[in-house]
Amino acid sequence: MVDTEISDNVIDVPRPIVRRFQARPQREGVGAVVRRSIGRYELKYFDPFIVLDEFSVSAPAGFPDHPHRGFETVTYMLQGAITHEDFAGHKGTINAGDLQWMTAGRGIVHSEMPAAQGVQKGLQLWINLSSKHKIVEPKYQEIQSKDVVEAEKNGVKVRVIAGEALGKKSPVYTRTPTLYLDFTLKQGANLQQPIPKSWNAFVYVLEGEGIFGNSRSSPVTAHHLLLLGPGDGLVAWNKSNKPLRFILVGGEPLGEPLVQLGPFVMNTQEEIDQTLEDFDNCVNGFERVKFWKSEAMID
């Protein structure tokens, strides 16, 4: 049984749920399926978040060679494994519980393909970069499951992907200040998690059902996105009889104009035109496009 004592009262004003979306499956990549919540037409952008996909992919489907510029992709594996390889020779496999924080910056071309039998599942979040960071050199931060920082208290377990929770800090460097927490609450457990006041924040439920925002709100189940309104932080409660798993993500809004063309995200149309030109001409960060094809495409 879980200790049901109310945790330290750190949240004066709980953030309310202001919008709620169910993420339904759609096709993406080549034969892959994603439940897209942020990035669909009703929710084009939730500053600084561009896309949130809960993906599900089995060989031979996948995400073959494609570019990115102007933002970061954060891939967090829930089940199975994905092999990625890029045009600079960076290659690896991320397994369940592993994290890849990729700063595409001025340009990456890569493939992301299944590395195991069965279904590979995970989350991919696209975080925008401010104008001054859009053309930084690409960078990877990769953390294996065993090295993901974890903490546990009163029936609440947290994996700290970015930022800080229950006194534990992630080593991940976030150019756009970001909090990314993977919570599992035992039955009866409740949680109060501070979030900086000026940040946008959302919850995405992975498993079970939870009460969020205030104790009178109705239970929320898997594949739902909740946008949080203003306040001091998140209040959540598992009053069901099974574990509740969800992610809480917060980020400092950039407050800059956004022009997106698929995997290119810049501030102006001129910068998008320039990006297409750079990509076509293999210049300004896309030099290696000319001679590169992933092994996944050659096999």
Residue type, 73: T
Query: Considering the rule CB under 6 A, would residue 75 count as an interface residue with ligand FJE?
Result: yes
> Cα(195)–Cα(205) distance, rounded to whole angstroms?
18
Q: Which stretch, 28-36, 129-137, 191-199, 204-212, contacts ligand FJE (CB under 6 A)?
A: 28-36
CA proximity to 185, closest of 235, 233, 148: 235
Looking at residues 158 to 217 of the shown chain, list those that interact with ligand FJE (rule: CB under 6 A).
none
Closest CB to ligand FJE among 73 and 192? 73
- Find the farthest-apart pair of alpha carbons in the chain and give their distance in angstroms, rounded: 62
**Residue 156 in contact with residue 10, Cβ under 8 Å?**
no
Closest CB to ligand FJE among 114 and 213? 114
CB of 109 to ligand FJE, least distance (A): 10
Closest CB to ligand FJE among 191 and 266? 266
Helices within 163-206 (DSSP H only):
none
**Residue 141 in contact with residue 101, Cβ under 8 Å?**
yes
> Cα(86)–Cα(37) distance, rounded to whole angstroms?
26
Residue bearing tokens 């439920």:
205
CB of 263 to ligand FJE, least distance (A): 4
Closest CB to ligand FJE among 53 and 209? 53
> CB-based burial of residue 60 (10 Å sphere; 0-12 exposed, 13-18 middle, 19+ buried)?
exposed
Classify each residue of 275-297 as buried b or exposed e, where b means 16 or more C-beta atoms within 10 Å of its C-beta. Answer: beebbeeeeebbeebeebebebe
Query: Considering the rule CB under 6 A, would residue 87 count as an interface residue with ligand FJE?
Result: no
**Residue 68 in contact with residue 285, Cβ under 8 Å?**
no
Query: Considering the rule CB under 6 A, would residue 112 count as an interface residue with ligand FJE?
Result: yes
> Cα(115)–Cα(170) distance, rounded to whole angstroms?
27
Q: Which stretch, 27-35, 130-138, 202-210, 224-232, contacts ligand FJE (CB under 6 A)?
A: 27-35
Query: Considering the rule CB under 6 A, would residue 53 count as an interface residue with ligand FJE?
Result: yes
Q: Which stretch, 17-25, 26-34, 235-243, 248-256, contacts ligand FJE (CB under 6 A)?
A: 26-34
**Options 55, 87, 183, 246; binder of ligand FJE; rule CB under 6 A:** 55
Query: Considering the rule CB under 6 A, would residue 34 count as an interface residue with ligand FJE?
Result: yes
Query: Considering the rule CB under 6 A, would residue 124 count as an interface residue with ligand FJE?
Result: yes
Query: Considering the rule CB under 6 A, would residue 40 count as an interface residue with ligand FJE?
Result: no
**Options 29, 107, 251, 285; binder of ligand FJE; rule CB under 6 A:** 29
**Residue 51 in contact with residue 57, Cβ under 8 Å?**
no
Closest CB to ligand FJE among 124 and 294? 124
> Cα(237)–Cα(214) distance, rounded to whole angstroms?
9
Query: Which residues lie near ligand FJE (CB under 6 A)?
Result: 28-29, 34, 53, 55, 63, 66, 75, 82, 112, 124, 262-263
